[in-house]
C-alpha cells in the first residue's frame, strides 16, 4: 500500500521549512496542506490539540508534532541521506544547536523583522551575533537551519 505523507504547514514558517528540507533530503513524496493560522483548520486542531501549531506531519494516519521531533522521526523512518550524525556526541551537538536556533535565533529574527527604529537596529545586531556564533560552530544542522530561515 502506498504511504500517506501529509505536511500541515505555512510557507513562511521556519519550523515548516525545517520539515520540508528533511523530506526533500530523504526524497519522500508528500502532500502539503497550507494552513491559515488566523483561522486554523479543524484537522490542525485535531492533530495538534496541545499546541495547535504547524508543522504537523501525518504519516499513514499518525500525527507527529513539534518540528525537531518530526525531523528525528523522518530521519529514523526513511533511512537514506542521514540528517543527524551517527556519533552520539555529534548528535548531542546537533540537538544543542537546533535548540539554540529555536530558543535564541528565531525570536531574535522575529524581533528584528517586527520592531521599529532603535529597537530594530539592536535586534538586527543581536540576531547577527547569534547567527555568527552558530555558524562558526559549523554544524550541518545549523547550516541547514540558517539556510532555512534566512
**Beta bridge mates, 33:** 8
**DSSP codes of every residue in 130-141:** HHHHHHHHT-HH
Residue 10 beta carbon to ligand GSH: minimum distance, rounded to whole angstroms: 6
* Cα–Cα distance measured from residue 146 to residue 95, given in angstroms and rounded to the nearest whole number: 15
Total Cβ atoms within 10 A of residue 37 = 12
Which range, of 20-28, 51-59, 119-127, 130-138, touches ligand GSH by CB under 6 A?
A: 51-59
- 112: contact with ligand GSH by CB under 6 A: no
Which range, of 25-33, 60-68, 77-85, 118-126, touches ligand GSH by CB under 6 A?
A: 60-68
Residue 118 beta carbon to ligand GSH: minimum distance, rounded to whole angstroms: 26
Kindly determine how many residues on this chain lie close enough to bind ligand GSH according to the rule CB under 6 A. Answer: 12
Total Cβ atoms within 10 A of residue 45 = 10
- 6: contact with ligand GSH by CB under 6 A: no
- 15: contact with ligand GSH by CB under 6 A: yes
What is the b/e burial string over 75-96, where b = at least 16 CB atoms within 10 angstroms of the residue's CB?
beebeeeebbeeeeeeeebbee
* Cα–Cα distance measured from residue 26 to residue 138, given in angstroms and rounded to the nearest whole number: 22
Residue 2 beta carbon to ligand GSH: minimum distance, rounded to whole angstroms: 26
- 141: contact with ligand GSH by CB under 6 A: no
Residue 144 beta carbon to ligand GSH: minimum distance, rounded to whole angstroms: 14
Q: Which residues bind ligand GSH (CB under 6 A)?
A: 10, 13, 15, 37, 52-55, 66-68, 102
Amino acid at each position: 500500500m502506498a504511504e500517506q505523507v501529509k505536511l500541515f504547514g505555512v510557507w513562511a514558517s521556519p519550523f515548516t521549512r525545517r520539515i520540508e528540507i528533511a523530506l526533500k533530503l530523504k526524497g519522500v513524496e508528500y502532500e502539503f496542506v497550507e494552513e491559515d493560522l488566523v483561522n486554523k483548520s479543524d484537522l490542525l486542531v485535531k492533530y495538534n490539540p496541545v499546541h495547535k501549531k504547524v508543522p504537523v506531519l501525518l504519516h499513514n494516519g499518525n500525527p507527529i508534532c513539534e518540528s525537531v521531533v518530526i525531523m528525528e522521526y523522518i530521519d529514523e523512518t526513511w533511512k537514506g541521506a542521514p540528517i543527524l550524525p551517527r556519533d552520539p556526541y555529534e548528535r548531542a551537538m546537533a540537538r544543542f544547536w537546533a535548540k539554540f536556533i529555536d530558543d535564541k535565533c528565531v525570536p531574535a529574527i522575529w524581533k528584528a523583522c517586527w520592531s521599529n527604529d532603535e529597537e530594530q537596529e539592536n535586534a538586527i545586531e543581536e540576531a547577527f551575533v547569534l547567527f555568527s556564533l552558530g555558524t562558526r560552530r559549523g554544524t550541518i544542522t545549523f547550516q541547514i537551519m540558517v539556510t532555512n530561515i534566512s
